[in-house]
Structures are given as C-alpha cells and as structure tokens.
Structure 1
Amino acid sequence: MAGTAPSPSAAQATARGGFMAAIFLMATSAIGPGFITQTATFTATLGAAFAFAILASIIIDFVVQLNIWRITALTGRNASDTANAAIPGAGYLLAVLVLIGGLAFNVGNIAGAGLGMNAMFGLDPKIGGGLSALLAIGIFLSHRAGLLLDRAIIGLGLLMIGMVTVVALSSNPPVGEALRQTVMPEVIDFATITTIVGGTVGGYITYSGAHRLLDKGLVGERNLAAVTRASLTGILVTGVMRYVLFLAILGVVASGVTLDLASQAANPAAQAFAAVLGDWGMRIFGLVLWAAALTSVIGAAYTSVSFLTVFSPMTTRSRNIATVVFIAISLAVYLSLGTAPAAILVFVGGFNGLILPIGLTIFTYVGFARSDLMGGHRYNRPLLAASAIVCIMTWYMGYRSIGPIFAFLGT
C-alpha cells in the first residue's frame, strides 16, 4: 500500500546494509595499492617482526575510527561541518586538505588499477587505469549509484580477502612465529609504523565509513551502540585483510625467496604472488591490486567530495556529478603525468600524516568540551583519553612526514 511505513524487519535490513557498506568502505579505503606494496617491502625487510607494526597500526586505527565514527553519529554532521561548528574556519581548512590529499591519492589509485589490469591481461597500464576510472564513473552516474556503490565495495572487499587467503594458505607461512612476534617483536621500527599509519588511517580514509553512515541516516544517540559495533567490525575486517596479506608475503620470504626491493621496476608483492602460484599467482596479484585500487578510487572520490558540502549544500545527484568530475580530473592528471606515481604516493603519505592529527585534534576537542554539538551527550572519558594520547602520537608522525612533502615540492 502506497505511503505505508517500512516494517521493522525491513528497517533493520536497511540499517544492516548501511552498516555493512560503511564497514567495507572504510576497510577497502585502508587497503590500497600503496599498502600492498608497503606490506611486501616491509615484510621482506623485517620478516615476522613486521607483525608488530601491523598490530600497532590496528590499535591506532581502533582509537581513531571508533572516536570519529561515534562523534560523527552524535553530531549528525560530516567532519567539516563539525569542525566549523567547533572552531570557526577549521572545517574549511580540513576540507581543503582532504580534497588535495584525496585528489593526489586518486592519481596513485588509478595508476594502481592500471598496473593490476596489466598484470591480469597485459594491458597498457594507462589504458587499464582509464578503463578502471570509467568503471568508477559509471557507478556514480547510475540512477542507483548508492546501491551500486555499496555492492561494489562489499563485493570487491570480499574478493580481495578470498584471493589473498588462497595465496596465504599456499605460501605456508610460519604462523606461530608471526603470532609470537606480533606481541614480542625482535625488531621495532617506528618509521615503519609511522608509514603504515599514514597510509591506512590518514587523510580521507579516517572519515570514509563515518560519512557513509551519515548518508544512510544512521546517526543520533539511538544508533550509538550499533555505530560502535560497526566501527569495531570495520577495524576487525581491516586488521584481517592486513594480517592475511602479511602472512601471504611472509610465507614466500620465509621459504628463502629474495624479493627485489632495489631496482626501479621492482614490484615485491607481484614477485611474492608469482613465487607461490607462478603465472596464476601473477594474475591473482593483478586481480587483488585492481580490486584494492578500484575500491580506493571509489572511496577517495566519494569521501573527498563529501567535504565539499561545507562550502555549499548539495543534493545527492549533484554530489554524484561532483564525484564523477573528481575522478575525471584524477584520470586526466594520471594520463598526462610527468612525475612517477611512486613519488606522488610518497608525497600523499606525508600529506596524510598532517591531515590526521588536525582532524583528530578537532574531534577530541568536541568530545571533551562541546557536548552541545552532540545533543548534550557526555562522551566516554576513557575513549577520549585514548584519543588524546593517539593525537599526540599522530602530531609527532605528522612532524616526521614534513620531510617527504618538502622533498616532493623540491623535485
């Protein structure tokens, strides 16, 4: 009957779908081409001790994501609007930083998609990157863009987990040693932790899942418990994806295979997959890289454009069109690129290292002092204390990231 309200079961199913979409948008945004390459490189360098860096990044991820998802749900506003309400003008600064970082990151994501299609089919990387960008554009041009976005993110996320699990099982990694060094590492490399955190929590990634929940209307204190569970689940999914990829590479390294890390064309992750399954391993690597890159293209574009609403209100349709333009500009930059994608990814990693502490500082301040923005809710003090500690850590990481930024600008 027209005008009838949805049944409780239908409403619950819609909410579950919204939470799943947010979970996988956050998880797949955190696992992009850069992270896959970094994981192979650091595993080849540190061996099983890299497991501790993954654990540290997950703990930091837990504090950052849990607080930002919960505060976003309580304020019912996106990050830039919350920042502006807390500190006038801060939202504009955050939006500009996220848009610049997201655009630069998307150039690298499209490059990663092109490399993935090259590994799968032998296509020229620029043609593969162009086709992948057009596929992402097609999703946002569709009249059912929201549904297609959710299904693409969830489907590709599950595909990545499945394919990497196959390689991990085939590579026969020393799981016991990896688990031991997860908590008792023989080596602790803080530079590695800084790099991983910047690439998996920094920039737009921090806000991707929270903004998807906002678009789904899953906000307010009534949804806080469910938002908390969804955030924890998203962090768990992200952690599993990171750890399984690490195990897949570790099995290859532990078997005595030496990955090339020095040459200009080195691709240690591709070498590891090929060492396990030969030509099929290379194709699986291509599929994983392409899926990681395409979901990151979608996540970076969707989240970056969500920050534009701080400058002017936008309808869902106008946001989708702006997202298409964002991807098209990223593609145009990639196709006319004079700078190597690797250099851009170094710049973006450093740039994201600056965005994270700025946003986290604002959200921590809102939690401590602006209950009026959260409907009078008194925010959880232990979570805020953890947020303050991580905030200090991320400012230090941001300071460490300034070097790559100036190096890039000087080239």
Structure 2
Amino acid sequence: MSALDTEKKAFISHRRSSLIAAIFLMATSAIGPGFITQTTAFTSTMGAAFAFGILASIVIDFVVQQNIWRVVTLTRMRAADVANATLPGSGYLLAVLVLFGGLIFNIGNIAGAGLGMHAMFGISPKLGGLISALFAMWIFSSRRASTAIDRLMVVLGLLMILLMVGVMFVTHPPVGEALYQTILPDSIDFATITTIVGGTVGGYISYAGAHRLLDKGLSGPEHIEAVSSAANKGILVVGIMRYVLFLAILGVVASGVTLDLSGQAANPASQAFYYALGDVGVRLFGFIFWAAALTSVIGAAYTSVSFITVFKKTLTERQRSIATLIFIAISLGVYLLLGTAPAALLVFAGGFNGLILPVGLTLFVYVGWRRADLMGGYHYPRWLLWSGVLVCLLTWYMGALSVGTIFSFLEIV
C-alpha cells in the first residue's frame, strides 16, 4: 500500500470517527434527565396521543440541526462568530444566553446524575452528584480528553438505547395504537410540544454536534454531504431514543398502572421501571438516568465553553479545558450548596432556553438566504430554508411563551 493510500485511509477513518462523535454528542445531550422525566409525565397523562408530540419534536429537530450544522461547517466559524458576522454584537448575546442557560441546566444534570446513582447504589443523591461531576471533570482533564469524550458518548448512548429497547419489550406497549396516534392523535397539546422542543432542541444542544465537527476539522463545502448525512443520522438516533423510551413508559401506563406525578414521590420514571421489572428495573432506571445526566453534563460543559472563544479568539486548548473544569465546578458547587436543583431555577433556565433557539436559528436562516459569501458561494437548498422560516416562526412563538416564564420567575424571587 502506497503512502498516499495510507494517508487517504487514515483521513477516511478520522472523518468517520469524527462524524460518529458529533452524532452521539448531539444525541446524548438531547436525552437528559429532564427529557426522561418529561416523557414519563406526558405519557402518563396523554397516553398514546403523546406520540404526536415526539414526532413533532423530531421534525423540528431535523430542520434546526440541518440548518445549524450546515451553516457552522460551511462558514468554518462557531455559532457566535457566525452571528457576529451577520449582525454585529448578536454573537455576544447568543454566547451569554448559551453560557448562562447551560450553567443553570448543568445544575439539573448533576442533580439527575445524583438521583441515578442513588437508584443504582442507594447512596445519597448529593454524594452521587459529587462523584459524577468529579468523573466528568476527570474526563476533561485527561491528556486524551477529546478521544475519551467521543468514546464515552458512543458507549453510553448505545447502552441507553439497548437497555430502553429491552425494557420496551418487557412492558409490551400497544405499538399499533402508538403508530396510529403518531400521525392521527386523539388530542394535541401544544404546551407539551413546546416543553419537549425547548428541552431537547434549544439552548446549547443545537450547537453541540456542529461545534464538535468544527473542532475535528470537518468544515467547508467539500464536507457538506457528509455533514448533512451525519445530521440526519444524529436525528435518527435521537428519534429512536425518544420513541423507544416513550413506548417503554406507554407499556406500563397502558397496563393500568397509575404513576404518581405529584412531585412528592420518587421520580415517575423510576416508578415505571419498577412496575416493569421490580428492583432490577430500578437499577436499570438508575443507570439510564445516570448515563443521560452524565452525557448531558459533558455535552453542556463542552458546548457552552466553546462559545467563550467569541470573547477571546486566542484561547488555547489548555485554557478551554480549564474553563470547562471551572464550568462544571461552579455547577457542582451550586448543586451541593442548594442540595437540589430548585424547580424555580430550572423553570427560569427553561425560559432562557426557549429564547436561545429562535435568536440563533433566525440568524442562521438569514445567512442561508443572503450570505453565500460566508459559505464559499454554496447554493443553499431552498426547501431547507423555507422549512427553517416556518420553524423560526414557531420557535419565536415558543420564545414569547418563555418570556412569560421568566417574568413568573422574577415574581417568585
């Protein structure tokens, strides 16, 4: 084999591993403890009709991720830099929103990791959160942090899917009814769609995979087909994880079990797994919840800190690693100080999350329409731009709802 063939083979292998890493970083960031809890609650109250909400979130996710992944990789710039190039100063606003929202949500992610370890081993949630956060910090402090993050995301992502599929088969959900209601639901609750989209598409999650590809060097028009394909596969992975979890919970609810959603009892998802598999189910729930939380801690830290470069262009890799450790340490410190992730704080973060998506997406769709110069003359697909416009309008409506959430929080404090 010639040196040229060896070099080509190494490049193909690097590109494949980079694309897989971006796919799972985005997918696992989108499936956090909040999503698992929300899915359980909505499935318990809406039954099979919630399948439509899952489908709606996947369609919106497709439009958002395709636009953001394309623009970031075509312009070879991080999201905040793209925003500044489009509307001077807007990138700083976007960065502040992502950093602040990501920090608040990371408190909830660490709390979720603590609850997962409590379910697995019976240790206190606070100790479990401490151990999980320290583990995430150890990953980022490793000399091969980039490779470690990629592998951990893939392994934990696959394990979550396999375990959820196993639970789904045990609970025997009414799959036919779920598929029917996915297209023709008995009822549509727009509030649930807003909540799911805000927690699984908005905020830092929208930019996780795109920034990972940029760090891996996969940018420019020459990689656009691979990037677009990777975005599709990432959305497919997220869709499978969302739908399988929904079916697993639906099987329990359809059997006649009533889950306690009062907030005074244990996590409703833990109850569902207990009814399905007994004590073993609680342990499985603990691992899934912990894995979802830990990957979200890593995804939130990595992506949020990647926005810091808009303030300091010459940030070295070591400085970014230190900033990431500080980011996790602050989240951990607040969690340990408070003992829990206060509901009002998470509601406030959710309101901010609802504002981030429309701000960023609007700028990115504008780049697709008017700034071909930033994308090397690339001819942007018109169908994707029109889809982006429709989703923009929808997310601005969601953002308006989020403003109400923020004012409600200010009244509380």
> Do the structures match in fold with TM over 0.5?
yes
* Runs of 4+ in structure 1 over 6 Å off: none
Quick check: 1:108–1:344 contact (8 Å CA) kept in 2? no
Please tell me whether residue 218 in structure 1 is matched to residue 213 in structure 2.
Answer: no
Given that 1:67 and 1:383 are in contact with CA atoms closer than 8 Å, whether structure 2 keeps it comes out as: yes
Alpha-carbon deviation of 1:263? 4.0
> What is the CA-CA distance between 1:376 and the residue it aligns to?
1.6
Opposite residue 361 of structure 2, the aligned amino acid is L
For the pair 1:290 / 2:280, whether they are aligned, the reply is: no
Structure 1 residue 340: deviation in Å?
4.3
Cα distance between partner residues in 2 of 1:5 and 1:346 = 54
Cα distance in structure 2, aligned partners of 1:288 and 1:207: 24
Q: RMSD of the alignment, in Å?
A: 1.3
Aligned to 2:350: 349
Identity between Structure 1 and Structure 2 (%): 67
Asked if structure 1 preserves the Cα contact closer than 8 Å seen for 2:335 and 2:341, the reply is no
State how far apart, in whole Å, the 1-side matches of 2:263 and 2:310 are: 44
Alpha-carbon offset, residue 378 of structure 1 = 2.2
Aligned to 1:382: 383
1:264 aligns with 2:264: yes
3-state secondary structure, aligned to 2:347: helix
Which residue matches 2:329?
328
2:153 corresponds in structure 1 to 153
Asked whether the equivalents of residues 107 and 341 of structure 2 are also in contact (C-alpha less than 8 Å), the reply is: no
Residues 107 and 341 in structure 1, CA contact (< 8 A), matched pair in contact too: no
Q: Do the aligned partners of 1:115 and 1:125 also contact (CA within 8 Å) in 2? A: yes
CA distance in 2, matches of 1:379, 1:79: 17
Gaps in structure 1 of 5+ consecutive residues: none
Query: Does structure 1 residue 62 correspond to structure 2 residue 70?
Result: no
1:6, distance to aligned residue in structure 2 (A)? 5.4
Provide the secondary structure at the position in 1 that maps to 2:207: helix
Task: Give the conservation status (yes or no) of the 8 Å contact 2:352–2:406.
Answer: yes
Query: Unaligned stretches of 5+ in structure 2?
Result: none
What is the DSSP-based 3-state SS (H/G/I as helix, E as strand, rest coil) of the residue aligned with 2:307? helix
Letter in 1 for 2:321: N
- AA aligned to 1:405 is I
Following the alignment from structure 2 to structure 1, what is the Cα–Cα distance between the partners of residues 371 and 359? 17
Aligned residue type for 1:190: F
- Deviations 1:280-304 (CA, angstroms, capped at 9, x unpaired): 0000000000000000000000000
User: 8 Å contact 2:29–2:295 — kept in the other structure?
Assistant: yes
CA distance in structure 2 between the partners assigned to 1:103 and 1:76 by the alignment? 26
Contact kept, 8 Å, 1:111 with 1:341, in 2: the verdict is no
Equivalent in the alignment of 1:184: 184
* CA distance in structure 2 between the aligned counterparts of 1:64 and 1:344, rounded to whole angstroms: 26
Q: TM-score of the superposition, structure 1-length normalised?
A: 0.98
Is the CA contact (8 Å cut-off) linking 2:116 and 2:287 kept in structure 1? Answer: yes
Q: Does structure 1 conserve the Cα–Cα contact (< 8 Å) formed by 2:126 and 2:339? A: no
State the aligned residue count. 409
Query: Partner residue of 2:92?
Result: 92
CA contact (8 A) 1:37 1:267 kept: yes
- Over 3 Å counting, the alpha-carbon distance change for 1:134 and 1:187 in structure 2 is same
Q: Which residue of 1 aligns with 2:29?
A: 29
Secondary structure of the corresponding residue to residue 70 of structure 1? helix
- Alignment match, 1:107: 107
CA contact (8 A) 2:33 2:289 kept: yes
TM-superposed deviation, 1:372: 1.0
Change (3 A) 1:157 1:341: farther
CA distance in 1, matches of 2:289, 2:339: 23
Q: Tell me which amino acid in the other structure corresponds to 1:168.
A: M
Distance 1:124 1:262 in 2: 22
- Aligned partner letter, 1:64: V
Is contact 1:114-1:130 (8 Å) kept? yes
Matches within 5 A, 1:74-85: 74-85=74-85
Q: Which residue of 2 aligns with 1:248?
A: 248
Paired residue type of 2:334: V
Q: 1:14 aligned to 2:36?
A: no
* Cα distance in 2 between the residues matched to 1:116 and 1:340: 14
For residues 385 and 333 of structure 1, the distance between their equivalents in structure 2, rounded to whole angstroms, comes to 42
Distance 1:377 1:48, change over 3 A: same
Alpha-carbon distance in 1 for matches of 2:169, 2:319: 45
Partner of 1:41: 41
Q: Which amino acid aligns with 2:331?
A: S
Query: 1:398 maps to which residue?
Result: 399
